[in-house]
Homo-oligomer: A and B are copies of this chain.
Amino acid sequence: MHFSPSQSEASRPFLTWQRIIDWAQAHYRERMFNKDERIPTRSGLLYLVHRGAVRLVGTAQISATITNASDEETQGGIEDAFLGFVGSGLPFEIVAQSPFTLQAYAHIDQTAIVWMYWHDLDNWPHFRREVLDAFRYQHQRKLLWLSTLGQRRTVDRLLGFITLLVEEYGESTDRGYRLPYPLTHAQIGSAIGSTRVTVTRLMGKLRQKGLIYVEDDNLICLPYSSPKD
């Protein structure tokens, strides 16, 4: 398994970034959010995570079934799905689209968000190119994510999902790579089409097999070498 350092960090020219942050602050285009606070977004605007981390969530307002109590896991129809993080220094945008809506939440306290119109980037053509490349990279990551969600067994989807998340966002530690943000079992379940209860059970299985481990604040980690190697 190959883990690559965060590409955005390496490729971001610090000076341009600082100039954009200065510009945004001078134009009152920065705002701070607390953990789990929703970030109001409009289609057509571009958002940059200055500090902290953003959690993207999708809501499906489509259902093949009129909700009834006979299904074992009926929960009222509308479900929120965890769609990934946007880390510091990275862009996101939200294009509203029925019958699904996308929303952004601050994932940790003190998350600072800067926003701008796309045409504001006319002043920084290189930075625009970087933003577009970041979306290009994100697109590839989401294709990998979809690959694991196509797997039929929930435990495979779970391990694939964790692997992709840690691969993308993980920090190096003594024993392995650690996801720097906590994630609840309900949030994991919402991403892989499963329930909190099932995720808890399967996470136990993966830990027993040594495929994952968990550190202090519920941070998920992958060991450097798989126990099967």
- Which stretch (A13-21, A22-30, A97-105, A169-177) binds chain B? A97-105
Closest to A91 in B: B136
Docked CA distance A100–B147 (Å): 7
Stoichiometry (number of copies)? 2
B-side contacts of A71, CB under 8 Å: 153
CB pair B149–A146 under 8 Å, yes or no, is yes
A41 at the interface (CB under 8 A from B): no
B-side contacts of A113, CB under 8 Å: none
Closest to A140 in B: B95
Closest to A80 in B: B150
A145 at the interface (CB under 8 A from B): yes
Docked CA distance A210–B102 (Å): 27
Min CB distance A194 to B, Å, is 7
A132 at the interface (CB under 8 A from B): yes
- Which stretch (A32-40, A47-55, A57-65, A213-221) binds chain B? A57-65
| A residues at B contact (CB < 8 Å) | 1-2, 56, 58-60, 62-65, 71, 73, 75, 79-84, 93, 95, 97-100, 102, 129, 132-133, 135-136, 138-140, 142-153, 155-160, 163-164, 189-195, 202, 205-206, 209, 211
Task: Provide a sorted-by-A list of 7 A–B residue pairs whose CB atoms are within 8 angstroms.
Answer: A1-B98, A63-B151, A63-B156, A99-B160, A100-B164, A132-B136, A138-B139
